[in-house]
Amino acid sequence: MRVPDAPTGRLSDAWRACVGTGRVELALRRDYQDSLALLQREIGFRYIRGHGLLSDGMGVYRPYDWQGERRVQHSFTYVDQVVDAYLALGIRPFLELGFMPTELASGERTVFWWRGNVTPPRSHQEWADLVRSTMAHLIDRYGLDEVRTWPVEVWNEPNLADFWEGADEAAYHRLYEVTAGAVKEVDASLQVGGPAISPGADEWLERFAEFAERRGVPVDFVSKHAYTSGPAQHVPFGVHQTLAPASALLDQFAAARARLKGSKLAELPLHITEFNSSYRPDNPVHDTAFHAAYLAPVLAYGGDHADSFSYWTFSDMFEEAGVPTALFHGGFGLLTHRQVKKPTYHLYAFMARMGPDLLSRADDHLVTRHPDGRVTVLAWAPVDPTGEPSGPERHRLRLSVPIASGAAFVRRSSADEEHGNARTAWQRMGSPRSPRPHQLDVLHEAAEPARHHLRLPVEEGRVDLDLTLARHEVTLVELSPVEEEAPPWADEGRLLGREAPG
Amino acid sequence: MRVPDAPTGRLSDAWRACVGTGRVELALRRDYQDSLALLQREIGFRYIRGHGLLSDGMGVYRPYDWQGERRVQHSFTYVDQVVDAYLALGIRPFLELGFMPTELASGERTVFWWRGNVTPPRSHQEWADLVRSTMAHLIDRYGLDEVRTWPVEVWNEPNLADFWEGADEAAYHRLYEVTAGAVKEVDASLQVGGPAISPGADEWLERFAEFAERRGVPVDFVSKHAYTSGPAQHVPFGVHQTLAPASALLDQFAAARARLKGSKLAELPLHITEFNSSYRPDNPVHDTAFHAAYLAPVLAYGGDHADSFSYWTFSDMFEEAGVPTALFHGGFGLLTHRQVKKPTYHLYAFMARMGPDLLSRADDHLVTRHPDGRVTVLAWAPVDPTGEPSGPERHRLRLSVPIASGAAFVRRSSADEEHGNARTAWQRMGSPRSPRPHQLDVLHEAAEPARHHLRLPVEEGRVDLDLTLARHEVTLVELSPVEEEAPPWADEGRLLGREAPG
Amino acid sequence: MRVPDAPTGRLSDAWRACVGTGRVELALRRDYQDSLALLQREIGFRYIRGHGLLSDGMGVYRPYDWQGERRVQHSFTYVDQVVDAYLALGIRPFLELGFMPTELASGERTVFWWRGNVTPPRSHQEWADLVRSTMAHLIDRYGLDEVRTWPVEVWNEPNLADFWEGADEAAYHRLYEVTAGAVKEVDASLQVGGPAISPGADEWLERFAEFAERRGVPVDFVSKHAYTSGPAQHVPFGVHQTLAPASALLDQFAAARARLKGSKLAELPLHITEFNSSYRPDNPVHDTAFHAAYLAPVLAYGGDHADSFSYWTFSDMFEEAGVPTALFHGGFGLLTHRQVKKPTYHLYAFMARMGPDLLSRADDHLVTRHPDGRVTVLAWAPVDPTGEPSGPERHRLRLSVPIASGAAFVRRSSADEEHGNARTAWQRMGSPRSPRPHQLDVLHEAAEPARHHLRLPVEEGRVDLDLTLARHEVTLVELSPVEEEAPPWADEGRLLGREAPG
Amino acid sequence: MRVPDAPTGRLSDAWRACVGTGRVELALRRDYQDSLALLQREIGFRYIRGHGLLSDGMGVYRPYDWQGERRVQHSFTYVDQVVDAYLALGIRPFLELGFMPTELASGERTVFWWRGNVTPPRSHQEWADLVRSTMAHLIDRYGLDEVRTWPVEVWNEPNLADFWEGADEAAYHRLYEVTAGAVKEVDASLQVGGPAISPGADEWLERFAEFAERRGVPVDFVSKHAYTSGPAQHVPFGVHQTLAPASALLDQFAAARARLKGSKLAELPLHITEFNSSYRPDNPVHDTAFHAAYLAPVLAYGGDHADSFSYWTFSDMFEEAGVPTALFHGGFGLLTHRQVKKPTYHLYAFMARMGPDLLSRADDHLVTRHPDGRVTVLAWAPVDPTGEPSGPERHRLRLSVPIASGAAFVRRSSADEEHGNARTAWQRMGSPRSPRPHQLDVLHEAAEPARHHLRLPVEEGRVDLDLTLARHEVTLVELSPVEEEAPPWADEGRLLGREAPG
């Protein structure tokens, strides 16, 4: 394939606009912060979104009695520690307001091992106070200019009874209205949105749009989630699930604006505030090379359909189904505990090395150029999500790449079943649930991509790139113009003292 | 007072043998680890002890079904992260086995905001399996030579119904027997002990000794706790309490061996595995200069009565009464969240700068010498625990200190109401519950001790030290021999170019 | 004095536009980089200027023979390491082109212990090649947008025979013309200037202007130096000198534009590329509290006369007079080796905490306001540079400061003879030439400013500040509005459990 | 080959007893310290030896005039910074006393670009004072217990006129006698030795022994150097040389004791205080994969002949032939500037992962066991130092390795022409003399060894290891016993949700 000389557009960075996290309280942890620091150094997300900002573990809503009267204090001891850490790591919070503080809740239903209360507030007035107080505190501490860049999403997946008692749509609309109103009272320039629905419930979007218009309720962005997995087949501490093709994710992204067509919400920013293959934190597919190759086209094309799509989640430090029982346990994370990179991490890290100018894009590759002339190719072996071996074991791709110099230095980085794949090494060492320090060293080593360097000739301004990809490989090929500085006397033949022929 | 020239003994370091911590799960947090790193750099404790090693938050006890059968997996994902962190910070765990995993518990009673289950095991067999598995795992990972240096304490304060259902002594004895047996099965050289009782229940010690002897149960050390506070007078998010004189702590330490006199346990190591003034994590007395001066004699004399006495706890990162609502909230910590030092921190840091040779000790001071000839004086203003101003505002102390040189360089560091006392500054800045970054900077600054440096003459091998201590002051005075290196031409009078008189 | 409510202008930051350094090769050292990191964290200079970029130690000019012919390679191994380090530390190079590589020099005359060759080039053609090659390399590595922000100064103090053979003005003009031409050939947007003269030679400025105009030579900025010391009275490893009043520095700054009035150079940026009291790196006055108080008005007023005035130099890591023989040796540094802060460091660090809005300025103080309402006062005790005690030992200053709240939190930081003054402590400990580690700890401690915190009442929007300054004191007083958050139940009287009266 | 089950001895660690460095003044540099930190983390040398401790750049010998009289101050400003840095990095100085301070020298002859004076002292009395003062200062600062572990070597290669004026043996004996006497005067337990001769002058050893015996001069160890290169064929900024086979190094090591047989020096510790292939810091052979394979047998067998053999030198931060002009320039370093690892670095890092028990040793491999049962194989492809391709391109090695478990996890790390070989990548990118930051990233990446992980079956307690080594490959194979923890339900076939067959 002949890659064009001139850009065909800009590469969207919707893919790194946001990333998901386990409940925000976990941001107090060291491994979490170290993991996020690594992520920001090598990938660089702009926002981070997680549950539980107002849940009991954050200690925000604190009723007390004083002189015989019930009062409430809003405490931000942990909120501030979490947000300070985020900002210090160069990432901003995408605020999700939820779940319900136990003492403000109208019921006892909880979700997750860590028991997030999913019932409406006992008092919408007190909830509004809590929201106002939280936003006002954040502005006071971080400044309005900063906080107005943080989207505020109302609740999470209210269309599921697990997350919102009875999946009560009217109750959600009421919560949204009260919450959005409280946010805007603090400052009209703050951005509020929803309805943060799970896949398969897009009809909520239309009704959300109607409701918002009917009641004149402020909406600054629309949000939904996308997953492709089927029903869970349980094993101890894990599940297996079938997956729809990755294109189903792009379809889910695109469906939102289609649904909203004609409404006032149609032109608003669309945030896919969660996406992944499986929605389960104990599905080993997340840990595989397959997973990276499966998601590659989603990262390449997702920006065509949404303003952000947020990988759920950056780390296996995540406790919705309890404390993980083994290093590799099917967690969502791009990183395991203790920061072992998974193949999908590499997909993101490779994307982060692409240039701004889009030269070419297809089912198995993406080509970009940097301002300094480097050309970067991301290629992947297309996958079959049924797990049936799909045709040949190896995928071949030939590209004619434009480059402006006499030769190109080529750096290739790859993750596949064998390389950049610590899970394979982990299995070979006996699947140690809690690896010892020297095993962790090996896993960190095994997690690094395979790397090769070569020099290729440039002919008529082009390099012929002939790539063979292994099963489930994702590969990054970076081509840099060579400026030769070797002196005329450089002579490898004389290294061991043989006289120059004279 | 004339400090003797020759040592009268060695200074015990029982004061830094161990320190307490909030539940061990908190060790996953960054601020916790940063705090502990600071502590270890400036104080250097040898062991750390906290609750909850086996509680749900650590994710250790994990039953599951497989092929129709109930099985249990023991998972050490977090245990290893915690212990790895401790060892990396140069401190060893003093293991406390408890509380009960919910799924192994015989009842539902819990203690603390974080709900530690305090009921006996549903199956003593499964409990023994859990203990064996835990100890075997630790040995596998850290080596027997290491783990046999870690004391293993069975449960916490079983004499209180809050911590052990019904304060059932027979049930505790049974738990102890099963636990100690399981520990010793793993390796006979492991050290196991108890009964970790709270103050006012020393009769448990005698019965524990009888029981152990009668049943031939292994006991390698005896443990108990010591506190001096009276009943709680509640205010929102806090309490006030009267305190007994600090000498009551020494009495409580000493009482254990007195009780055990004649039993086989009398000669065993005695560990005071918790001590403090108030046993409440929300009593502001912990934050005060008073508190440092109050505890000073306990640190100076405690080693006469016990092999360790463990300050409860090193950090305000502690959640037994919920997430703290303000930076200063009466927490036990030597450090607040975000590592602001309290006056009692300085007491410990000063103790850590004392030398090994004890020259003198009295009600208001301690004098030691280092091998290199430096003499170090710790002095404190005696306090009245009723809060009545006790005589003069200032305390005067005159010491004649032996030092072998022509002059002494004197470095004095002090904490009192005004200095080394961030709480005072915090109140002046308006008691901000969650201080902003620049306020935290000021608090860190205000938390540093007052420091003065001077040179004193030595006459006949002695320096006359005339110390005036402010209310609640604890002061460290370090005297170093001066070796004069100033050249003969040094002349401050010529700094601005006035000609030498010639 | 009543400080106005409204700003009278902006505080210039010419004082921190640039700082001097020992020869740039020293930037390879660790202590240097650690010192600069500290400086940048607490002060934040924008540029750094030092000698020797092209001297032998940097290894740039490298002639060789190949096939019987003399050739030259320009090597940037160390230049890149130095500039990389600067940029990583957030500071940019203010390039000084000099001295002459030995193998390009026309003579053998050198300056300094480290032997910088100060003779004209043997070949102006080769010198121009060297300049072009250097600038082109920098642009290639760092980008034109970056490098065009770096001023390029031609040589150093050519009016002194020590620095430029024969102080030959015509030869300097030729060098300037060749150099400026070479710079502009690389890119016309690069900024080039001179003549970098030492004090007392302002007549060079007029002739430089004439020459530049006559020859059409590009000049983008004008530079000169300023010092106030008299002749050196030598002692071993040191000198003493009289000093002119500090106002003489301001006069020297101002004189340049006065001289250039009417010429095309009059409106160009004026950079005082070196200033200090004494021009000697072994005059102990640099180490004193006197020195900070002496320079305080220069920092406060210097920006009225110049676009930058660069303190010579930030660190005692400096070898013009040889390797320093003692920790305090009269070096120029704001910091000693091993990063002990001197009083003049504090003057700069205090300045860095001033706000952008200037409220008041006088002979003994400067008052500014931050956007968040904090008011900051820098005050100093006026000094007598003859060293005669000038009137009272203490200086008193009363200010009525506007502040918008019910109370003000006041943070005062001071350096004087006794505080923030490690040299005093160092003398007391015997002036150890190479202090031991524990002595260094004490010196770092003694180098910190004295700090006090208090709360003052605000009446009619004003705080009465009554400041007493010790001899040679420089003090920073920061007033912050207090927002009171102490709860109604806070009661210090109940700390020790006395019942509330109620 | 069948590797024995039982150890045949202990692996000597003479190979890491010491490493060489460019002149010690360079230890002040950051890149140097960062490089040494990396080295100590991954290799862990015990001592470090370099020239120039007393040369002008260290500023130690400082004559001055006072009241008309010449005096000398000994200054340790830089000595202390250097030694502090070494000890902080966990390495001790192997002191080499030299070269001559200019102001104490009897002549002007210098060696190296940095001009070390190589003439005898003008006054042996003053030299002895300098030595005494230096040793006394070190003891004062670091303690006698520490300093007595630091060997003190007198001068460097006095048998060469380049290093000792006239290669005057009698003058060296005199210098030795005066120096050793001065050292022992400070403390008789300090270790002093020599004569630090270059290769080809072993007759000096016998005469040194005779002289020492005749004069009763103390000698605590004997030292010499070993190199294998022939005459230099010059190119600009470099040389090429023929090399003798590596066994010549072992012969040179062994020759010392042979020569000394019968003398009192024969039983003393023998330190090869420098060794390498070429003695030139600009011979590109040092940068190659060949070099690692060439030296592998020397590391494996060297400990049979000497108590230490010190690789000259750990870093390319080295200036004897001037500032290096390109990243790869044939420097001695295990690391280039900016810490790019060379193949010989990997040889050392691989050696550092060998166990203490020696199982097998031969011309192409070394096998050891760790106490925990891991078996480690170092293998290398034998090289032909004439550069003639010696037989097949690939070297094959079959080993039957004893291991106590059902399976072995195998981690293989390799450096050869293509892998672990940044120089190859550097050449492909155009041999950039001063690589840009993103090129340095690639070089750091390319410098890492190739890594592979697999699982091998164990049969009858043995693993069959069939290794193929590429040209110039050095490979480390680590075999760990596998303890299988994968649960019975683990089933890769179900990853994508295919139902278990039932």
B496 touching C (Cβ < 8 Å): yes
- How many Å apart are CA D353 and CA C106, to the nearest integer? 56
Closest CA to B15 of B372, B474, B358, B351: B351
The predicted-structure confidence for D364-384, as pLDDT tens digits, reads as follows 999 999 999 999 999 999 998
CB pairs under 8 A between B and D: 4
Whether A430 contacts A501, CB under 8 Å:
no
Residue of D402, D406, D459 whose CA lies nearest to D6: D402
Average pLDDT, chain D: 96
What pLDDT shows up at residue B392?
66
pLDDT recorded at residue D391: 55
Catalytic residues of D: 157
Strands D375-380 and D474-481: antiparallel
Fold classification of B12-351 is: TIM Barrel (3.20.20)
Q: How confident is the model over C453-494, as pLDDT tens digits?
A: 999 999 999 999 999 999 999 999 999 999 999 999 999 999
Q: Is the pLDDT of residue A388 over 80?
A: no
Torsion of CA B433, B436, B442, B446, to 10 degrees: 20
Q: Where are the alpha helices (DSSP H) in A192-272?
A: 203-215, 247-260
Task: Give per-residue pLDDT as tens, C268-320.
Answer: 999 999 999 999 999 999 999 999 999 999 999 999 999 999 999 999 999 99
| Predicted local confidence at residue D411, as pLDDT | 98
CA proximity to C365, closest of C377, C354, C353, C348: C377
Q: Give the distance from residue C67's alpha carbon to the nearest chain A alpha carbon, in angstroms.
A: 10
The span from the CA of B165 to the CA of B158, in Å, is 8
> What pLDDT does B391 receive?
55
Q: Is the pLDDT of residue A391 over 60?
A: no
State pLDDT tens for residues D438-495: 999 999 999 999 999 999 999 999 999 999 999 999 999 999 999 999 999 999 999 9
Residues D336-360 pLDDT 10s: 999 999 999 999 999 999 999 999 9
Region(s) of chain B under CATH 2.60.40.1500 = 357-481
**Rounded Cα distance, C47 and C83, in Å:** 11
B461 has a pLDDT exceeding 90: yes
For residue range A308-351, what is the model confidence (pLDDT) as tens digits?
999 999 999 999 999 999 999 999 999 999 999 999 999 999 99
Report angle CA A311, A317, A323 to the nearest 5 degrees.
Answer: 125
Asked whether the beta carbons of C259 and C207 are under 8 A apart, the reply is no
| Section B380-409 average pLDDT | 88
Q: Is the pLDDT of residue C149 over 70?
A: yes
Does the structure show a pLDDT above 60 at D306?
Answer: yes
Q: Which of D67, D71, D80 to mutate to test the interface with C (most CBs of C within 10 A)?
A: D80
Number of helices (H), then strands (E), belonging to chain C: the values are 11, 24
Per-residue CA distances from A405 to C138, C142, C207, D26 (Å): 21, 21, 49, 39
Over range A7-22, report the average pLDDT: 97
Decide if pLDDT at C502 tops 80: no
CB atoms within 10 A of CB A316: 29
| pLDDT for the residue numbered B502 | 47
pLDDT of residue A501 exceeding 60, the answer is: no
Residue B498: which pLDDT band, with cuts at 50, 70 and 90? confident
Centre a 10 Å sphere on the Cβ of residue C466 and count the other Cβ atoms it contains: 9
Nearest to B430 among C284, C288, C485 (CB): C485
**Among C95, C108, C31, C110, CA closest to C324:** C31
Neighbours of chain B (3+ CB pairs under 8 A): A, C, D
Which ranges in D381-477 belong to alpha helices (H)? 422-428, 437-446
What is the rounded (10 degree) CA torsion for A483, A485, A490, A496?
-90
The arithmetic mean of pLDDT across residues A198-215, rounded, is 97
Does pLDDT of D392 surpass 90?
A: no
Q: What is the pLDDT of residues A256-270, one digit of tens each?
A: 999 999 999 999 999
pLDDT at A393: 81
Q: Does A409 touch chain B (CB under 8 A)?
A: no
Express each pLDDT in D156-177 by its tens digit: 999 999 999 999 999 999 999 9
Q: What is the largest CA-CA distance in chain B?
A: 104
Mean predicted confidence (pLDDT) in A356-370 = 98
Does ipTM top 0.85?
yes
| C372 neighbors B436 (Cβ within 8 angstroms) | no
Residues of C in contact with A489 (CB under 8 A): 66
**Superfamily classification of domain D357-481:** Glycosyl hydrolase domain; family 39 (2.60.40.1500)
| Interface contact C107, partner B, CB < 8 A | no
- Count contacts between C and D (CB, < 8 Å): 102
Q: How confident is the model at residue A389 (pLDDT cuts 50, 70, 90)?
A: low
Judge whether B250 and B272 are in contact, CB under 8 Å: no
End-to-end, the C-alpha distance of chain C in Å comes to 46
Q: Is the peptide bond before B356 cis (omega within 30 degrees of 0)?
A: no
Residues of B in contact with D66 (CB under 8 A): 488-489
Give the 3-state secondary structure of residue A380.
Answer: strand
Helix H or strand E segment including D475: strand D474-481
Instruction: Indicate the burial class of C410 (C-beta count within 10 angstroms; 0-12, 13-18, 19 or more).
Output: buried
Range B462-474 average pLDDT: 97
Full-model pTM: 0.96
Whole-angstrom CA distances from A169 to A206, C31, D174 are 12, 64, 99
Which pLDDT value is given to residue D255? 97
Tell me where in chain C the CATH 3.20.20.80 domain(s) lie: 12-351
Are residues B58 and A323, on separate chains, in Cβ contact within 8 Å?
yes
- CA dist list (Å): B477 to B15, B334, B410, C428: 20, 21, 7, 15
**CB within 8 A of D216, min separation 6: which ones?**
none
Catalytic residue among C25, C96, C153, C157: C157
Asked if B64 and A236 come within 8 Å (Cβ–Cβ), the reply is yes
Stretch D277-287: mean pLDDT: 98
Q: Which tokens in the block code for residue D353?
A: 């992962």
Other CB atoms within a 10 A radius of the CB of residue C492 amount to: 10
Q: Residue A87: phi, psi to the nearest 5? A: -65, -40
D494–chain A Cβ distance below 8 A for any pair: yes
Chain C touched by D236 (CB under 8 Å)? yes
CA distance D284 to C410: 64
Q: Is D69 on the interface with C (CB under 8 A)?
A: no
Nearest to B434 among A31, A57, A76 (CB): A76
Average pLDDT, chain A: 96
Q: Is the model's pLDDT at C500 over the cut of 80?
A: no
C442 touches chain B (CB under 8 A): yes
pLDDT attached to residue A499: 73
**Up-side HSE of residue C191: CA atoms within 13 Å toward CB?**
18
pLDDT value of residue A498: 82
Q: 């000839």: which residue's tokens?
A: B373
pLDDT > 70? residue C394: yes
